[in-house]
């Protein structure tokens, strides 16, 4: 998977890949300065068409080392690149040093959705690794991970 590097201060971060310790590679984001000015992200974009009117789950393994604030993020945009929904784990950030742990974001995808944007963000000091990323459709029985997401039943 090729990752774009973005954010409000991407120059304050180093991006790359490393061995994941079990025969493959994982993506990496690491603060290059002691006090980054803002966040940096690894990101990708995928068409939303097959998820419209349902729920989508982004899940991945994340490992951190001294992370000030790290999070998976999933965003839904329309054709004009306007934000329709976002979960950036604001209320449940990953902090400190953690082993490989699976995290997820689940959003409802409105019918007018055009793009899904997703990835890993690091805000502040530390480092984070990303592996085994999965983007999949899930049923209405899977709760969204943001409390204000609409509840829709598809028949």
- Residue 155: its pLDDT value, please? 35
- Residue 138: its pLDDT value, please? 97
- Residue 152: its pLDDT value, please? 47
Domain ranges of the chain: 4-138
**DSSP assignments along 70-107, one per residue:** EEEEEEEE-TT--EEEEE--TTS-EEEEEEEEEEEEEE
Distance CA 68, CA 129 (A): 14
- Residue 150: its pLDDT value, please? 52
Average pLDDT per consecutive 10 residues, the chain (155 residues; last block may be shorter):
85 90 86 93 96 97 96 96 94 96 97 97 96 95 79 42
- Residue 20: its pLDDT value, please? 78
C-alpha neighbours within 13 Å on the C-beta side of residue 100 = 13
- 4-138: what fold? Jelly Rolls (2.60.120)
């Amino acid at each position: 998977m090729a990752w774009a590097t973005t954010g409000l201060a991407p120059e304050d971060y180093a991006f790359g890949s490393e061995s994941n310790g079990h025969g493959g590679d994982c993506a990496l984001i690491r603060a290059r300065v002691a006090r980054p000015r803002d966040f940096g992200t690894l990101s990708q974009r995928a068409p939303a068409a097959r998820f419209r009117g349902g729920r989508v789950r982004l899940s991945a393994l994340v490992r951190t080392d001294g992370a000030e604030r790290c999070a998976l993020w999933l965003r839904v945009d329309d054709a004009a690149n306007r934000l329709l929904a976002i979960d950036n784990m604001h209320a449940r950030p990953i902090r400190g040093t953690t082993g490989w742990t699976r995290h997820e974001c689940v959003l409802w995808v409105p019918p007018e959705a055009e793009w899904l944007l997703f990835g890993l963000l690091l805000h502040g000091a530390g480092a984070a690794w990303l592996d085994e990323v999965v983007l999949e459709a899930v049923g209405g029985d899977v709760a969204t991970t943001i409390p204000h997401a609409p509840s829709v039943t598809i028949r």
